[in-house]
Structure 1
Amino acid sequence: MKFVRYGADGAEKPGILDAQGGLRDLSGVVGDLAGDVLADLPRVDPETLPLVEGNPRLGVPVGGIGKLVAIGLNFSDHAAELNAEPPEMPIVFLKANSAINGPFDPVILPRSSKKADWEVELGIVIGKRTKYVTEAEAMDHVAGFTIVNDVSEREFQLEMGGQWTKGKSCDTFAPIGPWLVTPDEVGDVHNLAMSLEVNGTAMQTGNTSYMIFNVPQIISHLSQIMTLHPGDVIATGTPPGVGMGHKPQKFLKEGDIMEARIERLGAQRQEIQRDA
């Protein structure tokens, strides 16, 4: 099933897509797609729910995100384009929650940004408390999957000292959505085509089959370090084609249109703006 949250920023309602792609109001069934609801998402016939008229804004498809965890250099072909050795253990970092952004909301470049980059990524949405789980148990803790664009300011990340947080956590630098898709509808999560375009030109193409650490390995590894809670989101790494990897390098500028897609998970689109 494909779940969404729709409406004004901060006042989103839960929804679900019907077989024709129509948006149905789920607010009479659950208050939000957040917290304990994610452990047991409603199984309803969308045709029995009210049809939402018009074309409302779609927000982040999961509410109450406690933390946004990301995995670096997790695609073998992406590591190769950067001439980096594949990691022996997952590289883990956090993006600030203030970076979380709707899938069609503008991405705002900081005033001094010169090297903003794109990274289409498979996002895991945790459905229930996850602590010390094995790889065999890990998928039982997944509510669903979505798209995360791990937008990164490379000068902040690599040239300003310290850890990656500076380049990863700028406001709006984590568009999430448009859909939360349940595992049964996704099917083989380790064989999904991925792509990202800027101004209609293909920048990234890849497939989740190139992940170095797969979904169960990532969840199990993180659960040995920190408790994952319902609504936590994990961005699992990006395929080749990031701006930093192009020759010459390419970075985002005001007015650009960025579109990210993952097979079975939909597409998101943002206009690039600059902070006043």
Structure 2
Amino acid sequence: MRFLSFTHKGRSSWGVVVERGLVDLGARETNPFPDLRSFIAAGRPSSILDNLEAPDFGLNDVDLAPVIPNPDKIILAALNYWEDAADPAKAPNYPVLFLRLASSQIGAGAPLIQPRSSQKLDFEGELAVIIGAGGRHIPLEQAMDHVAGYSIYNDASVRDWQKHSHQFTPGKNFVGTGAFGPWMVEAEDLPIPSRGVSLVTRVNGVEKQRTNTSKMIFDIPYLISYLSTFAPLEPGDVIVTGTCTGFGITRSPQEFLSPGDVVDVEIEGIGVLSNPVEAES
């Protein structure tokens, strides 16, 4: 199944994608879960998934929100893909990690915001892992039991601010730069990490990045186990697993996003996360 969060006429809700639209589970009187995160925390009980045939809305009738609008943690990995010419001897010994604030996130279709203070807004297509069952000190061999599902992330980055120091935080947390969506595909419906899936990023229809999730240096089980050693993972936490080369600052000449551009990130088995770019007002 594909679960999503959305707003409709100013009301925040969540639901499930069906053939001709979506079912608004948040509006059901018998539903005790106010948001997708709480539903995941309860183990995604099937008892509230009855009578899903008739949609309440078309997908175009709602504004999609970040899949998990209110995660406890968003943890992102950097430098996490083997490139074709990579030297294994230069691989990091441990994941390079940083945090993103939930307030920086946007949903599918919402504009990525080019800030007033920079002309170096960049794109990074990535696979997002959504934690189902929380835990601490999760063994490697049990890590996948803690995954609820997968989604798509565009970790849009303000490069000059990112490089003000050795810490990534400023350039990774501008308002309107963390695109997350369009929905969560349940883990049992997608063969990750038993085999990889393709990931492609396009700007204005032109391919800029292409990789396969099998090329991760630190795979999903490792990331879950490693992260849970220093921070208890909670249901609804989001792990963004890194990107391959091809994003703007790695290109020659460098390419950055401008108002009017459209960025599409496509992951096999999930769909397409599409966002236009607008200037900060």
Common topology (TM > 0.5):
yes
Q: Please give the TM-score of this superposition, normalised by the length of structure 2.
A: 0.90
Gap change, CA 1:9 and 1:144, over 3 Å in 2:
farther
SS of the aligned residue for 2:162 comes to helix
Greater Cα shift, 243-252 or 96-105: 96-105
Matched, 1:200 2:205: yes
SS of the aligned residue for 1:209 comes to helix
Aligned-partner residue type, residue 113 of structure 1? S
* CA contact 1:66–1:231 (8 Å) conserved in 2: yes
Counterpart in the other structure of 2:12: 12
Deviation of the 1:37 alpha carbon: 3.3
Instruction: Return the alpha-carbon distance in structure 2 between the equivalents of residues 247 and 45 of structure 1.
Output: 53
Aligned-partner residue type, residue 215 of structure 1? I
Deviation of the 1:79 alpha carbon: 8.7
* CA contact 1:36–1:128 (8 Å) conserved in 2: no
Matched, 1:191 2:196: yes
Greater Cα shift, 3-12 or 191-200: 3-12
Instruction: Return the alpha-carbon distance in structure 2 between the equivalents of residues 94 and 10 of structure 1.
Output: 29
Instruction: Return the alpha-carbon distance in structure 1 between the equivalents of residues 205 and 12 of structure 2.
Output: 30
Matched, 1:71 2:83: no
Counterpart in the other structure of 2:123: 118
Aligned length: 273
Counting only pairs closer than 5 Å after superposition, residues 82-97 of structure 1 correspond to structure 2 as 85-97=90-102
Deviation of the 1:69 alpha carbon: 0.5
Instruction: Return the alpha-carbon distance in structure 1 between the equivalents of residues 64 and 84 of structure 2.
Output: 30
Aligned-residue Cα RMSD (Å) equals 2.3
Matched, 1:31 2:34: yes
Gap change, CA 1:266 and 1:42, over 3 Å in 2:
farther
* CA contact 1:108–1:273 (8 Å) conserved in 2: yes
Deviation of the 1:128 alpha carbon: 2.4
* CA contact 1:5–1:58 (8 Å) conserved in 2: yes
Gap change, CA 1:196 and 1:46, over 3 Å in 2:
farther
Which consecutive residues of structure 2, in runs of 5 or more, have no partner in the other structure? none
Instruction: Return the alpha-carbon distance in structure 1 between the equivalents of residues 14 and 35 of structure 2.
Output: 5
Gap change, CA 1:41 and 1:70, over 3 Å in 2:
same
Counterpart in the other structure of 1:132: 137
Q: 2:233 aligns with which of 215, 228, 231?
A: 228
Counterpart in the other structure of 1:56: 62
* CA contact 1:70–1:92 (8 Å) conserved in 2: yes
* CA contact 1:157–1:168 (8 Å) conserved in 2: yes
Instruction: Return the alpha-carbon distance in structure 1 between the equivalents of residues 197 and 84 of structure 2.
Output: 16
Counterpart in the other structure of 2:114: 109
Instruction: Return the alpha-carbon distance in structure 1 between the equivalents of residues 41 and 54 of structure 2.
Output: 19
Matched, 1:171 2:175: yes
Deviation of the 1:62 alpha carbon: 2.0
Counterpart in the other structure of 2:186: 182
Aligned-partner residue type, residue 251 of structure 1? F
Gap change, CA 1:78 and 1:175, over 3 Å in 2:
farther
SS of the aligned residue for 1:114 comes to coil
Gap change, CA 1:140 and 1:258, over 3 Å in 2:
same
Deviation of the 1:268 alpha carbon: 1.3
Q: Please give the TM-score of this superposition, normalised by the length of structure 1.
A: 0.91
Deviation of the 1:209 alpha carbon: 0.8
Instruction: Return the alpha-carbon distance in structure 2 between the equivalents of residues 154 and 89 of structure 1.
Output: 23
Determine which structure has the larger strand proportion and give its number: 2
- Over the matched positions of the two proteins, sequence identity in percent amounts to 35
Instruction: Kindly provide the CA deviation profile for residues 73-119 of structure 1, in whole angstroms up to 9, marking residues without a partner as x.
Output: 000118949xx932111111111222111121101111121211111
Matched, 1:263 2:268: yes
* CA contact 1:36–1:127 (8 Å) conserved in 2: no
Which consecutive residues of structure 1, in runs of 5 or more, have no partner in the other structure? none
Instruction: Return the alpha-carbon distance in structure 2 between the equivalents of residues 38 and 118 of structure 1.
Output: 31
Instruction: Return the alpha-carbon distance in structure 1 between the equivalents of residues 251 and 9 of structure 2.
Output: 35
